[in-house]
Structure 1
Amino acid sequence: MTIIAVVLAVLAALLHVYIFVLEAFRWNEPATRKTFGVSESDAPILAPMAYNQGFYNLFLAIVTFVGVAMISSDNTTGTALALAGTGSMLAAAVVLVTHDRSMARAAATQGTIPLLAVVFLLLQL
């Protein structure tokens, strides 16, 4: 169970690093705007918010990576950190879809791997 939990947590963290890159550094690119459903005229206005949100995603990934790195030496602390990161990722996906049902696909993309990671992290306790 631990190997599956670690792999899923790392995949969730990598996804959030990718989202960080999109939001913090590629926000004004046409493909990124299309991904987030943002018009060319709105992108510069939303750029500061996206930049901040990108770092939020990076910090969740870092917490998850640190937790995963600690699981073999201190399972309780490592699992707690990995759960804090992946659980927050999952919670953000739930907030996204409950706020706007049209964001269900984005929420599923953002939240499925963290959901699986949370389940397997809890199972390995």
Structure 2
Amino acid sequence: MLTIVQILAIAAAVIHVYIFTLEALRFGRPQVHRGIFGVAETDVGAVRPWAFNQGFYNLFLAIGTFVGAALVRSVEAAGWALIVMGCGSMLLAAIVLVATDRRFVKAAAAQGAIPLLTLLAALTQL
């Protein structure tokens, strides 16, 4: 079951690297800012710095989760701490997203489902 936790944690991290790409690197493209995030062209200049910052937040969660998945077998306490912190933060961010704006329920589900599964699978390791 530990292997499943590691695979799920890595999948959650990969999704957050993709989110980083959208927010920090591709936000200026209309298909991203308008199509995915619902931001009008006239608002991109004001919102782009926030999206850039948020993108790096997601990248850092992903990096921590990747490192946790890599360490969990050799440095167990550190690996578990990073997996739980990373996936817990991802899940809580998804809850905040949908609580803030119900229009983002699909995005929140995409962002939070695999971290939730990772944490549930991690419970089997207690």
Query: Does TM, normalized by the shorter one, top 0.5?
Result: yes
Aligned twin of 1:26:
26
Contact preservation (8 Å) 1:5, 1:124: no
Give the Cα–Cα distance (whole angstroms) in 1 for the partners of residues 40 and 53 of structure 2.
19
Once the two structures are superposed, residues 69-125 of structure 1 have per-residue CA deviations (whole angstroms, 9 ceiling, x without a partner) of 111102222011111001000000011111222221111111001110111122223
Residue of structure 1 in register with 2:40 after alignment: 39
Match of residue 14 from structure 1: 14
Report the Cα distance in structure 2 between the residues aligned to 1:12 and 1:59, rounded to whole angstroms. Answer: 12
Structure 1: gaps (5+ residues): none
- Residue correspondences, number: 125
Structure 1 residue 85 corresponds to structure 2 residue 86:
yes
Query: What TM-score, normalized by structure 2, do the two folds share?
Result: 0.94
Report the Cα offset of residue 15 of structure 1: 0.4
In the aligned structure 2, how far is the partner of 1:22 from the partner of 1:104? 18
Q: Provide the TM-score with structure 1 as the length reference.
A: 0.95
Q: Could you tell me which amino acid in structure 1 is paired with residue 68 of structure 2?
A: G
Q: CA deviation at 1:26?
A: 0.4
Question: Deviations for 1:35-55, whole angstroms, at most 9, x for unmatched residues?
Answer: 111111111210000000000
Q: Tell me, which stretches of 5 or more residues in structure 2 are unaligned?
A: none
Q: CA RMSD in A?
A: 1.0
- Give a deviation string over 1:5-61, Cα, whole Å, max 9, x none: 111100000000010011111001122111111111111210000000000000100
Q: Distance in 2 between matches of 1:116 and 1:39?
A: 34
Give the fraction of aligned pairs with identical amino acids, expressed as a percent: 54
- Distance in 1 of aligned mates of 2:21 and 2:103: 24
1:38 counterpart SS class? coil
Equivalent residue letter for 1:114: P
